[in-house]
Amino acid sequence: MRTDPLFVTMRGLFAANLYLVWCAVIERGLTGVSLMRVLVVALVVMFATGCTTEGIMHDASDWGVEEIVELRELQSEDGRTNDRRIPTALVTIGKVSAFRPLTEKNIEEIFSEYAAFASQVDPSRDPMYTLEGFHSEVAGWTMLKVWSIPLIGLSNFEYALVPRALYEQLRFPTAGATFLAHDSGDLVAALTNPDGYFFVRKILCREGNDYKQCAKNYKWGLYDASTGEKLDHKSLTPDKSGIRIDPATFHLIEM
């Protein structure tokens, strides 16, 4: 799970630019030409710091569930390899952010990083995809917002790959809406595959008039796909809250 400081910092810079524009208009009475120049500068800041026509600029090296590998290494170093089970079958429930597509320009680099991480998760076998299979199966990626604090703009995200079979059905916010307001779209469930990556597998609630009523059945967060227990995102141990979901339907189980 990643708290995204880039979103918070860059959005703050853009908001500061807009504030300066407002001050300039109110206090200094800028002419139309001068105001246009300031707006252009603000837009350049926005696009230069990560907002593109393809979506929010993500670092593909962070996509895998790194906690699985890190916790295994810690167990090995401490000689406690059998101390406890580290869950690898995980579920994330969250809302999709901007979509970024796989293209002919980025597919080889992205698959190379995918395969490298998969070999860390299970060195005994090859990744479950070839380059061609990966391109055929995956349309692109998004970030799932699993919690947020709106007033200060702090959010936690988890990367998830988007299969082609679901891409056309999902409602994604625009890149600008994600960047500036942490806007999000449909609520989904993403499950890890054997290579340690989340794949969006089911649309739970669609963004729209009925969203709030539908969303009452679910709880954002990270879960054990086998037991349904809510997990701490760093240690992958059961959360102290005791929250649990039905692993089959992803519905929240009343306590």
Within this chain, do residues 145 and 39 fall inside the same structural domain, yes or no? no
Structural domain includes residue 187: yes
- State how far Cα 195 lies from the chain centre: 17
Query: What's the pLDDT tens digit per position in 36-74?
Result: 555 555 455 444 444 444 444 445 546 678 888 888 777
Within this chain, do residues 90 and 20 fall inside the same structural domain, yes or no? no
SS3 content of the chain, % helix, strand, coil (to 5): 40, 25, 35
Structural domain includes residue 209: yes
Distance CA 239, CA 145 (A): 18
Within this chain, do residues 21 and 126 fall inside the same structural domain, yes or no? no
- Top mean pLDDT of 15-29, 109-123, 141-155 is at 109-123
Range of the domain at 166: 60-224
Q: How many domains does the chain have?
A: 2
Within this chain, do residues 20 and 128 fall inside the same structural domain, yes or no? no
Query: What's the pLDDT tens digit per position in 93-104?
Result: 999 988 999 999
Within this chain, do residues 108 and 211 fall inside the same structural domain, yes or no? yes
Query: What is the pLDDT confidence band of residue 16, given thresholds at 50, 70 and 90?
Result: very low
The pLDDT value given to residue 55: 43
Query: What's the pLDDT tens digit per position in 148-188?
Result: 655 555 557 789 999 999 999 998 876 654 555 455 689 99
Structural domain includes residue 232: no
